[in-house]
Structure 1
C-alpha cells in the first residue's frame, strides 16, 4: 500500500468567501477577507506574501486548527466551518500532516519514537504501527537513523524525521510552514526534492514560504496580501 493516499483528479479543498476576524484588545482584525480558491488533490501549491498578510491564518484554517468567521471551507467533502470539534480532531489526526520550520521534535525521544507519536491519536492498530513507522523513515531516507535522538541528527535529517512524522498517518494533505527556512541551500534542495517526490506519489502539498526558489517549483503559486489571495 502506498504511504500516500489521495486521487489527483479530485478537488481536495474548496474555499468560498472565507473570512477570519479576530478581536484583539477591542480592535477588529481581519487577516483573511473573502478568500475563494480551489486546490486539487495531488497539487503542489505555495503561499507567499508579506508578514501579517494572512498566511499563517490560512494555514491554520486549512489544517482544521481554526474555523472561518464567514464563508465555506470544505476539505474532502467535509465543511470545516460547521464540523464538530470531534470531527475536526479526527481530521487533524488522520487527514492532515504538519511540517514546521523549527522541526518541533521531542528532544528526549528517538527519531522512531517521534514518528510513532503521530499514530497515537489515530485508529491505526497497535501491531501495525511499528511497520508504518519503519516505512515512513525509509521513505525519507532515514531507515538507519531510527534510534538517534534529534540532537544527534543534522538539521536536514531532523526535518526528514518531521516529514516522516507527518506522512506516517498517510494523510490527504501536507501543510508546511517555511519547511526549508532553517536549512542551507543544498539541504533546502534535498528537502524540496523529497517533498516533490511525495507530491508525485499523490500527496497534496501546501507550503508557506518566503523563498522564491521554492515557490518557482510549485504547480501553482498563491499570494496573500492584506488578507486577499491572488494567483501568480
Structure 2
C-alpha cells in the first residue's frame, strides 16, 4: 500500500526548478545585547524526491534551518521558495495552509497525546483538511499500515515501545500525504536496532515521491542520504557520498 499525494509530485513536473530554493537566507535574533546569526546567507537547492541530511555542531543552525523549511519561522532576509512560491513573502494564513497540506514533521520527542490511541493521534493531523469521517478513517488506517502498526491502532502511547511511538509519529506526519517530510533527530531516542527500523520506514517513503530532510547527529543515518549537508555557524556545506 502506498500513499498518493493530492497534488502532482514535483518529480513528475516538466519544470526543472528545485522543490526548495533558498537564496541568501538569513535568520538573526537578539540574545541579551548580542546579535546572533543563526543562518548567515544560506544558498541551497533541494530537489523533489531527494533525501538530504543536515549535520553540524550544536548551535550551528540545524534546527533553525529545518524550522525555516517547515515555515515555522520567518527569515530575517533572503528568499525561501517552495515550488516557486516565495514563502518569505506570504501571509500567516498561507503559511498555515502550506504546513497543513504540504509538510509533515517528525521530532526526537514523539509528541503523542498520552490519552489518545495511536489512531486518534494520527487523526489529529487531518483536522485542518476538512475531510469526511470515512475518508479520515481510511487515511489513518492506511498511514498506520504504512509504518507497520495496523494492529496497534487502539493502543495508547504508554502501551507502545519507543520505536512504535516514533512510527505513530511518522504515520501522523504522512497521513495528510505531504510532499515534504522534515525530521529533527527522529532516531535520537532509539537504540541501534530501532534506529535502523525507523530509518527503513523513512527510506520507504521515498518510493512515494516524498522529499525527506533529516537533521541528525548520527553518521550512520547521514550516510544513507542522497546528499549530506554540514551546517556550521549558519553556513551550509555540501558533503557528497
TM-score (norm 2): 0.93
Q: Give the Cα separation in 2 of the matches to 1:112 and 1:24.
A: 41
Q: Alignment partner for residue 177 of structure 2, among 170, 191, 196?
A: 170
User: For 1:22-171, what aligned pairs fall within 5 Å after superposition?
Assistant: 22-171=29-178
User: Once the 2 structures are TM-superposed, how far is the Cα of residue 27 of structure 1 from its aligned partner?
Assistant: 2.0
Displaced runs of 4 or more, over 3 A: none
Give deviations 1:143-180, integer Å, cap 9, x for gaps: 01000000000011000000000000000100000000
Give deviations 1:17-64, integer Å, cap 9, x for gaps: 100011222321111011001001100000000000000100110001
2:196 equivalent in structure 1: 189
User: Is the contact between residue 4 and residue 198 of structure 1 (CA under 8 Å) also seen in structure 2?
Assistant: no
Greater share of helix: 2
- SS of 1:71's partner is strand
The root-mean-square deviation of aligned C-alpha atoms, in Å, is 1.3
Q: Give the Cα separation in 2 of the matches to 1:58 and 1:84.
A: 20
Q: Alignment partner for residue 218 of structure 1, among 205, 225, 229?
A: 225
- 1:72–1:198 distance in 2 versus 1, CA, 3 Å: same
Q: Give the Cα separation in 2 of the matches to 1:54 and 1:123.
A: 35
Give deviations 1:57-94, integer Å, cap 9, x for gaps: 00110001011111100012221101110000011111
- SS of 1:120's partner is helix
TM-score (norm 1): 0.97
User: Is the contact between residue 4 and residue 203 of structure 1 (CA under 8 Å) also seen in structure 2?
Assistant: no
Q: Give the Cα separation in 1 of the matches to 2:137 and 2:179.
A: 21
- 1:126–1:83 distance in 2 versus 1, CA, 3 Å: farther
In structure 1, runs of 5+ residues without a counterpart are none
User: Is the contact between residue 122 and residue 168 of structure 2 (CA under 8 Å) also seen in structure 1?
Assistant: yes
Q: Give the Cα separation in 1 of the matches to 2:130 and 2:53.
A: 31
Give deviations 1:102-143, integer Å, cap 9, x for gaps: 111001100000000000012333331110000000010000
In structure 2, runs of 5+ residues without a counterpart are none
Tell me whether 1:231 sits opposite 2:238 in the alignment.
yes
